[in-house]
Amino acid sequence: KTNHTRSTDGAGNQKIKGDTGSLVAQYHFGQAGVDSLRPYVEGGFGHQSRGNVRADGHTGRDQTTFATVGTGVKYYFTNNLYARAGVEADYGLDNGKWDYSALVGLGVNFGGNAGAAAPAPTPAPAPEPVPEPEAPVAQVVRVELDVKFDFDKAVVKPNSYGDVKNLADFMAQYPATNVEVAGHTDSVGPDAYNQKLSQRRADAVKQVLVKDGVAPSRITSVGYGESRPVADNA
């Protein structure tokens, strides 16, 4: 991932390259279902490594380990497809600084709900009844679709094709579902330009879904520009 930033001290532009990895666990309240809201809280840890960081007259690599906490809510269109909005706060364990982010996204739960318990068999003449079998427990895997774009670009990168294909397969399995693809930008540049860029990004993801077999009428692409950031623009 490559990020472009503009300095505020007159030093000019700098190109920062780096990677961020994190492990975050979520706890949900309530049950998933059609038209249901599920609040959640989350916590975890991560590590960020950035190169070409210019500070104090030299350029080098900056590494930070951070703790993450957050909260939000998920709205379920079906038992598996949901929209998510929330906030996260990252605390740098090395520098003692806080970073805050607002998150908006679309997610899909893969798997199924726990099966209903089998009915008790008819009691036998024996003194003790046959014990009722336990209901099987299904495993649920939660996957969120988060397509990243290069700076000032609206081309879906090949490493995102697999995530988009998973969503297309889910929509093929559930023909009654529709999806809204939301496009976003950072705050660099004019508002009007960012609005058009975010719309092109949303349309690009829609085109990939159509190529994967989803009918265009089931997809709504909306560009939100910099009005609904999905990451901290600081």
* Three-state helix/strand/coil letters over 91-153: EECCCCCEEEEEEEEEEEEECCCCCCCCCCCCCCCCCCCCCCCCCCCCCCEEEEECCCCCCCC
Is residue 83 in some structural domain? no
- Measured between alpha carbons, how far is 105 from 192 in angstroms, rounded to an integer? 22
The whole domain housing 224 covers: 146-234
Q: What is the pLDDT of residues 38-77, one digit of tens each?
A: 899 998 888 877 665 555 554 556 778 888 899 999 898 8
Average pLDDT over residues 32-42: 85
For the chain, the average pLDDT equals 76
Is residue 3 in some structural domain? no
Identify the residue with better confidence: 50 or 157.
Answer: 157
Is residue 26 in some structural domain? no
Q: Is the pLDDT of residue 139 over 50?
A: no
Is residue 174 in some structural domain? yes
Q: CATH number of the domain at 216, please.
A: 3.30.1330.60
Q: Is the pLDDT of residue 101 over 60?
A: yes
Q: What is the pLDDT of residue 206?
A: 87
Q: What is the pLDDT of residue 107?
A: 83
Q: What is the pLDDT of residue 39?
A: 92
2: β partners = 17
Q: What is the pLDDT of residues 82-97, one digit of tens each?
A: 888 999 888 888 888 8
Is residue 226 in some structural domain? yes
User: If you average pLDDT over each of 15-24, 157-166, 212-221, which comes out highest?
Assistant: 212-221
Is residue 22 in some structural domain? no
For residue 137, with 0-12 CB atoms within 10 Å meaning exposed, 13-18 middle and 19 or more buried, which class applies?
A: exposed
Is residue 187 in some structural domain? yes
Q: What is the pLDDT of residue 202?
A: 85
Q: How many domains does the chain have?
A: 1
Is residue 192 in some structural domain? yes
User: If you average pLDDT over each of 63-72, 189-198, 218-227, which comes out highest?
Assistant: 63-72
Q: Is the pLDDT of residue 175 over 50?
A: yes
Q: Is the pLDDT of residue 142 over 50?
A: no
Identify the residue with better confidence: 224 or 205.
Answer: 205
Provide the pLDDT confidence category of residue 5 given band limits of 50, 70 and 90.
very low
Residues whose CB falls within 8 Å of the CB of residue 194, separated by 6 or more in sequence, listed in order: 185, 186, 187, 188, 225, 226
